[in-house]
Structure 1
Amino acid sequence: MLLHVLHETAYDYVPPVRTAQHMAHLKPATTATQRLLSHRLTITPLPARCSEWVDVYGNTRNFFSLQFSHAALRVQAESLVATSARAEPAASLPWEEAVDRMRYHRASRYDPAAEFAFASPYVPRDDAFAAYAQPSFAAGRPLLEAARELMQRIHADFEYETTATDVNTPALQALALRKGVCQDLAHVMLGCLRSLGLPGRYVSGYLLTEPPPGQPRLVGSDASHAWASVYLPAGEGAGEWLDFDPTNDRLAGEDYVTLAVGRDYSDVSPMRGVIHGGANHTLRVAVTVTPAGDDDMTSAAPSMTE
């Protein structure tokens, strides 16, 4: 599937901001099931400095600074992405064996996925998560089967409520409330996995805004979305990551666009920064993901600012 992504962020400040520094994760990743064909980043007003680099998780970060007074900031990220569906594994190891693979054993091969089994700023390891997850993780149950049921239970048990939480709500609080948005549901699923000793990654991205005829519109399709990725160790060699979306109770498919992966939201927030001045501000974010036409950024272009 060829998808055109337009992500627009607008800030208005009163009084004007004197200086500002921002970091953005707005450039889609290239993965086994996704290829970035073109990308353009437009920032208004033109920043004094803008740089791009790849972080430890392979995500592209853009840093920019505005060393002058400004009453508004507009950031537009436009991308063309080719996606494909991932084939679901036919089988997986029992979840207890997967946990054992992540433990340190002398002279054993190190698996980089093991670091995602530890706590992170937004997602602690806690007995409350383990207790919630346990009904899905019966002894000897294949990890893929257990993770799918955990996703289904979170989807059924939690109410999608935009006013119940904010970006700083702890995952344990969302678990207790049984309410939240996609970020919260992803964090809860990660907390459950990690509290059992299993690796889980946070994924930020987008959904196709309007589904094909006859298919339901997915929750979160008009904004940035988030879901969880579960690591499935292989019998021999490297394992694979499989993406589960508890908000919509399904595996991520070709109608999903991955922006970045990390331990939790704090690693991959679309935009964050530090400003001086601008005591009051309004924020507007608009995301549109549509099937690409012949006139949509057909030639690859590097990341740029205007």
Structure 2
Amino acid sequence: MPTPSADNQAANESVRYRIEHRTAYRYSESVAICQNQLRMQPRTRPSITCHFSNVTITPHPERVAEHEDYFGNRVYSFAIERMHRELTATVISEVTVEPAKCLHVSSSPDWQSIQSESRDIVGASGRMIHEFRFDSPRVVSGKMFADYALVSFADSRPIVDAALDLTRRIHQDFRYDTAATHVHTETEEAFQLRAGVCQDFAHIQIACLRSIGLPARYVSGYLRTRPAEGQTRLVGADESHAWLSVYGGQKLGWIDCDPTNACFCSTDHIPICIGRDYGDVSPMRGVIIGGGDTSLKVNVDVTPVEGQGALT
């Protein structure tokens, strides 16, 4: 299970990272044509600055295009139109992550006022908040999610206090188990199993929040990890990670919560894409003609950069 470094909660300075994400496919038979999209490149947002991000595809694609999707995520599309038995996509990026805003219960609005505000908000920016209240293909609200959420969101509890309590309860009540679910497991099934991985836990908390009328969005990214004391850090041993954001009102904005690790997010969490659920932000998707049996290997390496001028 990805876990943040020990000083996550105490982080109060920005951190610069170099990220290498390598995805390698091997095919038992030749692929004649493939078309793919990558969503692995960070973009500059309020909590993160992207210094650069480069994509390398092997074999070299015949066609490449880039655009931003509806949620502002960077999308790299490519097509390979000749026979191949291997495909490797490597994305190398460098970013600076800013510390999370200070979240104090005493100055936090109550969650019911956020519920009302998000329902009535208007304008283009308001639409991008309001629409995260509604169901999405992988997250469907319901009474069982609302009942679970309302244990944390009782009466007029401050949004910060309630959100953290729900985050910690999911961490406590659900077992991290890579064998319990798969990438297509429905959120209701993971909830009933009380088990899953970070994708499942993020979906469950989003379903809980939307079921009581609060906007919540899915966040994909990376988590800085550290080896156990006395052990050497393994290159490529880091993992992709997932968490969620709940809207905390105009003053607080989006609050990032990590139910896998029972914490609010800070500089150990490196956001890459946002969406309604995993389906909007899957790192690599596409279609192929041919290929036979496919094997997949993914390596992720997240390295703090010493000195702000390095690797620019």
Equivalent position amino acid for 2:93 in 1: S
TM-fit CA distance, 1:144:
1.3
SS in structure 2 opposite 1:141? coil
* Offset from partner CA, 1:151-202 (integer Å, 9 cap, x none): 0000001111011111110111110001000000000000000011100010
TM-fit CA distance, 1:295:
11
* Offset from partner CA, 1:43-98 (integer Å, 9 cap, x none): 00001111111112111001111111110100111111111211223322211121
For the pair 1:259 / 2:275, whether they are aligned, the reply is: no
Structure 1 residues 170 and 52: alpha-carbon distance in aligned structure 2, compared to 1, 3 A threshold: same
Of 34, 41, 66, the residue aligned with 2:55 is 41
Which has the higher mean CA deviation after the structures are superposed, 66-75 or 290-299? 290-299
Structure 1 residues 122 and 297: alpha-carbon distance in aligned structure 2, compared to 1, 3 A threshold: farther
Equivalent position amino acid for 2:51 in 1: L
Residue in 1 that maps onto 2:42:
28
Residue in 2 that maps onto 1:66:
80
Equivalent position amino acid for 2:77 in 1: F
Give yes or no for contact 2:16–2:308 (8 Å, CA) kept in 1: no
Residue in 1 that maps onto 2:299:
286
SS in structure 2 opposite 1:100? helix
Aligned positions of 1:158-237 closer than 5 A: 158-210=174-226, 222-234=238-250
Q: How many residues align?
A: 290
Structure 1 residues 106 and 14: alpha-carbon distance in aligned structure 2, compared to 1, 3 A threshold: closer
Residue in 2 that maps onto 1:15:
29
Aligned positions of 1:35-114 closer than 5 A: 35-90=49-104, 91-104=107-120, 110-114=126-130
Give yes or no for contact 1:209–1:288 (8 Å, CA) kept in 2: no
Question: Residues of 1 paired with 2:30 and 2:122: CA distance?
Answer: 58
Equivalent position amino acid for 1:158 in 2: F
Give yes or no for contact 1:4–1:289 (8 Å, CA) kept in 2: yes
Q: Name the TM-score, length of structure 1 as normaliser.
A: 0.89
SS in structure 2 opposite 1:206? strand
RMSD: 2.3
Structure 1 residues 4 and 296: alpha-carbon distance in aligned structure 2, compared to 1, 3 A threshold: farther
SS in structure 2 opposite 1:165? coil
Structure 1 residues 114 and 183: alpha-carbon distance in aligned structure 2, compared to 1, 3 A threshold: same
Q: Name the TM-score, length of structure 2 as normaliser.
A: 0.88
Unaligned ranges ≥5, structure 1? 300-306
Question: Residues of 2 paired with 1:36 and 1:106: CA distance?
Answer: 30
Question: Residues of 1 paired with 2:297 and 2:76: CA distance?
Answer: 20
Residue in 1 that maps onto 2:253:
240
Which has the higher mean CA deviation after the structures are superposed, 21-30 or 184-193? 21-30
Residue in 1 that maps onto 2:152:
136
Residue in 1 that maps onto 2:11:
none
Give yes or no for contact 2:17–2:303 (8 Å, CA) kept in 1: yes
Residue in 2 that maps onto 1:272:
285
Structure 1 residues 242 and 212: alpha-carbon distance in aligned structure 2, compared to 1, 3 A threshold: farther
Equivalent position amino acid for 1:208 in 2: R
Unaligned ranges ≥5, structure 2? 1-14
TM-fit CA distance, 1:223:
1.3
TM-fit CA distance, 1:293:
4.1
* Offset from partner CA, 1:225-255 (integer Å, 9 cap, x none): 00010111136xxx51110000011111112
TM-fit CA distance, 1:111:
4.8
Question: Residues of 2 paired with 1:127 and 1:29: CA distance?
Answer: 36
Give yes or no for contact 1:27–1:39 (8 Å, CA) kept in 2: yes
Question: Residues of 1 paired with 2:228 and 2:275: CA distance?
Answer: 30
Question: Residues of 2 paired with 1:112 and 1:273: CA distance?
Answer: 27
Structure 1 residues 82 and 106: alpha-carbon distance in aligned structure 2, compared to 1, 3 A threshold: closer
TM-fit CA distance, 1:285:
0.4
Question: Residues of 2 paired with 1:234 and 1:285: CA distance?
Answer: 39
SS in structure 2 opposite 1:103? helix
Question: Residues of 2 paired with 1:160 and 1:55: CA distance?
Answer: 31
